[in-house]
């Protein structure tokens, strides 16, 4: 019995993809600070999970979801890794990104001819690439098998995948799931699921 317990503990320590229903004494999965102290305070280990997917559920586009991620974009580009936008629903406005301090020389915008046919494999390829630091995509919905493949690809490269959805797919394999809502002066974030922690936390950010 003791040997099985030790083997289980070793497996849990070795593979950060395994979700646990309670917060471990020492959460060691890599994270990147979000740039928002109030948000980091409620995220396990204090930041966005690296080498993993984050699902961001938004009721509409353009409510401030990109302002939320500006500190992360600055950090990723500043570290010399690629910042990839995949089939964005709008053209990224380069002057605004430059003004916000994002190094757009490290940014790629990837179009896909047929979203239904090409989006999933394009995301997997980009997430797995060793130069990729951050992938932004708006798939809205994806089959569970695709979520699992993308999660493995991100874990392989250490990249962060930020996927915006409408939440219709229900539970996904994303390491972190959160929903956004508008509040006065900013956004209200509700954490629905967090690998290595508990869901249910709410935080308001003035952006």
CA 31/CA 146 separation, integer angstroms = 23
Residue partners of 69: CB distance under 8 A and separation at least 6: 136, 162
pLDDT, tens digit only, all 207 positions of the chain: 556 656 665 665 555 555 555 444 445 679 999 999 999 999 988 999 999 999 999 998 899 999 999 999 999 999 999 999 999 999 999 999 999 999 999 999 999 988 889 999 999 999 999 999 999 999 977 888 999 999 999 999 999 999 999 887 666 889 999 999 999 889 999 999 898 766 789 999 998
- 18 vs 49: CA distance, rounded Å: 13
């Amino acid at each position: 019995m003791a040997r099985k317990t030790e083997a289980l503990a070793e497996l849990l320590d070795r593979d950060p993809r395994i979700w646990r229903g309670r917060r471990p004494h020492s959460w060691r999965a890599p994270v990147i600070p979000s740039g928002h102290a109030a948000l980091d305070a409620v995220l396990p280990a204090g930041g966005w999970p690296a080498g993993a997917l984050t699902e961001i559920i938004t009721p509409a586009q353009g409510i401030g979801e990109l302002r939320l991620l500006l500190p992360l974009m600055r950090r990723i580009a500043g570290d010399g890794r690629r910042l990839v936008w995949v089939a964005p629903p709008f053209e990224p406005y380069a002057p605004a990104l430059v003004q916000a301090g994002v190094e757009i020389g490290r940014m790629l915008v990837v179009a896909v001819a047929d979203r239904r046919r090409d989006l999933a494999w394009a995301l997997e390829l980009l997430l797995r690439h060793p130069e990729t630091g951050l992938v932004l995509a708006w798939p809205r919905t994806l089959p569970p098998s695709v979520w699992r493949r993308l999660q493995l690809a991100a874990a392989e490269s250490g990249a962060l995948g930020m996927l915006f959805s409408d939440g219709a797919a229900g539970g996904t394999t994303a390491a972190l799931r959160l929903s956004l809502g508008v509040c006065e002066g900013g956004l209200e974030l509700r954490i629905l699921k967090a690998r290595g922690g508990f869901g249910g936390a709410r935080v308001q950010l003035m952006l």
